[in-house]
Amino acid sequence: MRELIRSLVETYGPSGAEEQIRATIRAEVESFADEVRVDPLGSLVVRKQGSGEGKRIVLAAHMDEVGVMVTYVDEKGFARFTHIGGVSPLTCIGARVAFADGRVGVVGLEEKREDTSKVPKFEQLYIDVGATGRDDCPVHVGDAAVFVRPFVAQGTRLIAKAMDDRIGCAVLIETLRRLERTPHDVYFVFSVQEETTLSGARTSTYSIEPDLAIAVDVTGTGDTPECHPMAVELGKGPAVKVQDRGMIAHPSVRDLLVQRAKEAGIPYQLEVLERGTTDAAAMQLVRAGVPSGCLSIPCRYIHSPSEMVDEGDVENSVRLLLEVLRAA
């Protein structure tokens, strides 16, 4: 899966501009699917037809990533910007960002600040694309950019920008590839705009009207120095969500994931995420309500240019989803 992951994480695709990553994913899934379509908001919906003896199931992973957007270009050609999704100024300083056309800029910090001991604000940062003035600046208001970082594998640790949630997309693609037969009609949804509004998963799920839905996304960990306590670690298996800031996982979905993990001897963890949420929060509110849950991949340094996951957790996520889908 490493080359698949590399391809996904190194492809441009901030919230609201997912065309490039959607094309990359579509090329990976078309030969394994019974139906492929793009819905009105831009989410990619891939159907694997079952034998008709099971349920209609949605598996959702968002293909968008966090980024930045130009808000103003000054007379010297430096671009001011805001954030797309949950980006911290601390992870921006000195970073490189790439725009849709591949042009790269460097994030700089104003040198004259009243209190240099405080965390800088976004209005104190700028993007330098090498322009000499506003007239020759190649970027404009509304242009979006993402962090630039290569994919790196060190032992079982995989490091890249956009693991959130391209690693979930990789899990869905690999699950589709290995899924030879299933009683269920399975809809693999690669959603747009999760980092900003959760709107992609909400609208896709509305059109599908599933019996249950499972988001596949990353979650934080409690295994780094002096971190906020959390009962999730890298390498201990995928995490079955119990609750996060936006939703309480439906007991039937949570118990299904736990039961299948136990039956197959797949390591798993239970997750309570105090900050953040996933597409599952939107999917559960569609129509009269959809029993929804989330399979979470432990990830360090979320929303930074260097997110880290464990390869074993990724593989076990695929195994667990296959166990869920192979039986009614």
0.85 exceeded by the pTM? yes
Distance in Å from the first CA to the final CA of the chain: 27
| Token pair for 223 | 């295994």
| Token pair for 92 | 């921006």
pLDDT digits (tens, 9 = 90+) for 184-213: 999 999 999 999 999 999 999 999 999 999
**Burial class of residue 328 (count of CB atoms within 10 Å of its CB; 0-12, 13-18, 19+):** exposed
Annotated catalytic residue within 28, 174, 194, 307: 194
Closest Cα to residue 54, out of 197, 172, 186?
186
- Stretch 127-132: mean pLDDT: 96
pLDDT at 328 over 90: no
pLDDT at 30 over 90: yes
123 catalytically annotated: no
| Token pair for 195 | 């980092």
Domains in the chain, ordered, with CATH? 2-65+161-326 (3.40.630.10), 67-147 (2.40.30.40)
Tell me which amino acid residue 254 is: R
34 near 48, Cβ under 8 Å?
yes
pLDDT digits (tens, 9 = 90+) for 75-123: 999 999 999 999 999 999 999 999 999 999 999 999 887 777 788 999 9
Predicted pLDDT at 113 = 77
Q: How far is CA 154 from CA 5, 136, 143, 170, 309, in A?
A: 14, 41, 34, 18, 11
Predicted pLDDT at 239 = 98
Indicate the average pLDDT of the chain.
Answer: 96
